Structure 1
Amino acid sequence: MTNSSPANQSTRTVSNVYKYFMVFLCMLTQAIPYGIAQNIQPLFIHPLVNTFHFTLASYTLIFTFGAVAASIASPFIGKGLQKFNFRLMYLIGVGLSAIAYVIFGLSTKLPGFYTAAIVCMIGSTFFSGQGVPWVINHWFPLKGRGAALGVAFCGGSIGNIFLQPITQEVLKHYMTGNTKTGHLLSMAPFFYFAVALLVTGVIIACFIRTPKDNEEVVSAAEVKAGKAAAAAKKATEFQGWTGKEVLKMKEFWVFSLGFLIIGLGLASLNEDYAAFLDTKLSLTEVGLIGSMYGIGCLIGNISGGILFDRLGTAKSMAYAGVMYVLSIAMMIFVSHQPYGAHPSKVAGIAYAIFCGLAVFSYMSGPAFMAKDLFGSREQGVMLGYIGLAYAIGYAIGAPLFGIIKGAASFTVAWYFMMAFVIIGFILLVFAVVRIKRYQKRYIARHQENN
């Protein structure tokens, strides 16, 4: 954005190559700092539970507390990005997440681990949850923003491919006993990852930035064409209902309930898979499965947008539901196998692929569904409602899985998760079909009136 000062005389247009370099830095942010801050945490569950004799349910509350804290802090961080230098905010986030790993390494009691998880999640919101979209939106205000965001967030999946096996190898050097009963001899891995997160984050911060006042990221012709295209699109697309109107629709509440229940089931697939697989496979094999999950997520994130565009919300989410049911079925199969069985490794890889292919359902899915189902009139409000429903289910799901496992077994817990996923997707798809019918009637009435 430029101003009317004399400095405007030196305004220059930024090349596409430089803008794509910013996208690369965002992707690198997701791959390493965010990957360390969030994606590898599930791999520490089983070693820590064994070392300090926690229950699975009590320890996995770290994900609940972290998610809630980040949700509360996110709006304030967003406002901070508008007031303060982006690079400073980025470094604050990296610093907080690195400090969180130090707290992990020094902790021996649950409150310490809960504190670390909260600090880590808030820190990652600075440079990832709020930071990455902030950078992309500034460098791509018109054309290419969606593609740039998609590429940037693929970094998390790419990071999983190499971070998962590396983490397992590091843990293996600091554990005694097998993966089922082993415990940590040292908390050194946390300090190693704290340093890795801090160093990579600082290096990225040296280059990542938003445009300067004298930099033009789109030409005047692109601005004019973008406004004309936006006006033409607005004249033809479904404008939608207001937030108040949507809250009066019973189908919206069915949709939200379905997404909440889906969150209950999916939390265990993302947060507890390593703790479970550690009881059936070696650390190296679990790391391999984590890498395959990263590949599956990479394909799923890219293909998700294509599925939504070509199949629509109902069919795309039904497809995702089938993939999740298959992935949980693989976990149930593994739960019946003895430790170290080769079929467990094959089924674990199948789980990773199936689960990764459906990851779009809660990553890009909420943003697409908010506009597709309820229109663009109050798209931001609807995205907030949809995201909140899933977040509540996700926050409850991880500790609930631990409670069920503690009271019964992993097998019983996976059956519960499968039931949640099936019920949740049935409710969601049913509500989507009904909402789309209302949408067609709404459009028809307005066409008659016009």
Structure 2
Amino acid sequence: MENKKSFYGWKVAAGSFIILAMPFAVIFLSHSIFLTPVTQALGFTATQFSLVFTIVAIATAIMSPIMGKIIRKYDVRYIMALCGAVVSISFAAFGLARELWQFYLLSAVLGAFATGITQIPISYIITNWFPSKKKGVATGIAFSGGNLGAFCTILTISNLMPKIGYEKCYFLLGGVMLVVTVLVSLFVIKEKPSDLGQKPYGDEEVKVVNKKSTASEELTGYTFKEAKSSSVFWVYVVAIVLLGVVFAGVQMHIPSYMQSIGHSASFASTVTSIVSIMGILSNVLIGMLLEKAGLKLGMSIIGIAMIASIVCLLLGKTALFAILFAVIFGAFVAIAAMGPSYLTSEIFGKKDYGTILGTVIMFFQFGGAVGPTLSGFIYDTTGAYKITWIIFIVLLVITFATFLFAFNLASKHRKAD
């Protein structure tokens, strides 16, 4: 038996960490730092430029099911390298854009090709290497790259932008993304253990000459057709949509809320930073929790913690509760990033994982697009966030109860089979 240290899956997890620290973090978690500089320089309104983020989310949602099928048909390394190159060049091209339609067009391209370099291929690869044992830890390591990347990007670009301008910051980030994504995709990422003569983590290591999957790597679980025709899938999708609504609805409005209840901009930034810092650790902690405690108990603990965090947010006028919110919310926020991929593989298996996950991500993105708009609408209508947070507490109860219902349905289906 080979030494465990030689198991290549951990290098795949590390490579995934690096990739998610760049395109995923830059596009989905830290692009908002360009909002004020771009709108001031080009005369756009905040609403006009914010549509860039919405277009990215919609394009990602539409393309996700398609990308889920593509990664099953072709070598995932080349798909990731190609998509990484297109995404990087498109992001850098924002620095050349001067008209709104140019930003919108680039956003559509960015969102569509981002599906081939972020959650879907990474989750697919991690599941191949860690189908059961240590999957939570490996997924957590990979997805923690997003939080660390966002933190470093915001810190670096916020300091650079006043000195070199937003255009050069776009060029810089696009260039770094291009080098990182292409090199890591081609030279670090490996689609499955048999490509290197290994077996998934937890199985006995054997030499495999053929790159095709061996009998021990036979895929189990649902096909996409079986999944979408089952009640399990649609109950699960409801929970996923609600998860996207609540997490995006809270996270995007934290600074605005803190200032609306009398805290300074600097305190609001501190609270946001604490959420980001805790989020770096959150992915591994959530992965370990779900792996050790199981889906039902693990998700129950996460649900209770998230409800407690929003209660603290309601009491956020007191600085102590605001900080407590940031610590608790940040510690469990990773369920929104890695949850869809981890839970989907646990419920539906590997047989058609890429296609099922792509569809799940589509619904999650739609929920994520609705959340911030809902929060903003309620605030504009009532002049406060209190009603928003109460609604989100209720939605969290429904969300995690729905997840538990989906797990129970899945267990019954497995017993029936």
What TM-score, normalized to structure 1?
0.68
Match of 1:66 in 2: 56
What's the counterpart of residue 399 of structure 1?
A: 373
Partner Cα separation in structure 2 for residue 421 and residue 378 of structure 1: 35
Contact 1:328 1:418 in 2 (8 A): yes
Q: Does the alignment pair 1:218 with 2:189?
A: no
Establish whether residue 296 from structure 1 lines up as the match of residue 278 from structure 2. Answer: yes
Structure 2 residue 335 is the aligned partner of structure 1 residue 361: yes
Report the Cα distance in structure 2 between the residues aligned to 1:276 and 1:191, rounded to whole angstroms.
Answer: 32
Gapped regions of structure 2 (runs ≥ 5): 208-213
Q: Residue 97 of structure 2 corresponds to which residue in structure 1?
A: 107
Cα deviations across residues 288-311 of structure 1 (Å, max 9, x unaligned)?
A: 655533332233222324444565
Offset from partner CA, 1:172-220 (integer Å, 9 cap, x none): 546xxxxxxxxxx753322222222223334434522427987312399
User: Matches of residues 21-40 of structure 1 in structure 2 within 5 Å?
Assistant: 21-40=11-30
Matched-pair contact (CA < 8 Å) for 1:258–1:426: no
Instruction: Give matches, 1:25-104, under 5 Å.
Output: 25-49=15-39, 56-104=46-94
- Residue 109 (structure 2) aligns with: 119
**Cα-Cα RMSD:** 4.7
Tell me if 1:266 matches 2:240: no
Q: Which amino acid aligns with 2:399?
A: L
- 1:35 Cα deviation after fit: 1.9
In the alignment of these two chains, the number of paired residues is 402
Separation in 1 of the partners of 2:229 and 2:169?
51
Whether the aligned pair in 2 keeps the contact of 1:164 and 1:287 (CA below 8 Å) is no
CA 18–173 in structure 1, closer or farther in 2 if over 3 Å, else same: same
Q: 1:375 to 1:25 in 2, by over 3 A?
A: closer
Amino acid in the other structure paired with 2:123: P
Q: 2: distance between equivalents of 1:19 and 1:255?
A: 29
Letter in 2 for 1:427: I
Aligned counterparts of 2:293 and 2:130: Cα–Cα separation in 1: 27
Give, in whole Å, the separation in 1 of the partners of 2:358 and 2:102: 31
Partner of 1:426: 397
Deviations 1:218-250 (A, max 9, x none): 3995479xx99999xx9xx9xxxx657743x8x
Alpha carbons 1:33, 1:200 under 8 Å: kept: no
For 1:332 and 1:108, locate their aligned partners in 2 and report how far apart those are by CA, in whole Å: 41
SS at match of 2:188: coil
Q: For residues 435 and 29 of structure 1, do their structure 2 counterparts lie closer, same or farther at Cα, with a shift above 3 Å needed? A: closer
Query: In 1, are the aligned partners of 2:59 and 2:108 still within 8 Å (CA)?
Result: yes
Q: TM-score, normalised by structure 2?
A: 0.73
Aligned to 1:197: 177
Verify the 8 A CA contact 1:42 1:275 in the aligned structure 2. Answer: no
CA-to-partner distance for each residue in 1:263-299, whole Å, 9 max, x for gaps?
323213344446667996567x776655533332233
Query: What is the identity, as a one-letter code, of the residue corresponding to 2:286?
Result: G
- Identity among equivalent positions (%) equals 21
In the alignment, the residues of structure 2 paired with residue 368 and residue 45 of structure 1 have an alpha-carbon distance, to the nearest angstrom, of 32
Find the aligned partners of 1:215 and 1:230 in 2 and give their Cα distance: 14
CA contact (8 A) 2:235 2:402 kept: yes
Instruction: Trace 1:177-196 onto structure 2 (pairs within 5 A).
Output: 186-196=166-176
Query: For structure 1, which segment, 189-198 or 79-88, has the greater mean C-alpha deviation from structure 2 after superposition?
Result: 79-88
Closer/same/farther in 2, CA of residues 124 and 273 from structure 1, 3 Å limit: farther
The structural deviation recorded for 1:394 is: 1.4
Mapped contact 1:162–1:291 kept (Cα < 8 A):
no
CA distance in 2, matches of 1:139, 1:439: 23
Larger radius of gyration: 1
Structure 1: gaps of 5 or more residues = 1-11, 175-184, 338-342
Deviations 1:55-102 (A, max 9, x none): 555543333322221233234434444555544323322222222323
Residues 408/270 of structure 1: CA separation in 2 closer, same or farther (3 Å cut): same
Rounded to whole Å, the distance in 1 between the matches of 2:374 and 2:185 is: 38
Q: Distance in 1 between matches of 2:337 and 2:123?
A: 13
| Residues 74 and 367 (structure 1), Cα distance of their counterparts in 2 relative to 1, 3 Å cut | closer
User: Aligned partner of 2:328: which letter?
Assistant: F
The answer to whether structure 1 residue 20 and structure 2 residue 10 are counterparts is yes
The partner residue of 2:123 within 126, 133, 136 is: 133
After superposition, the Cα gap between the structure-2 partners of 1:57 and 1:268, relative to the gap in structure 1 and judged at 3 Å, is farther
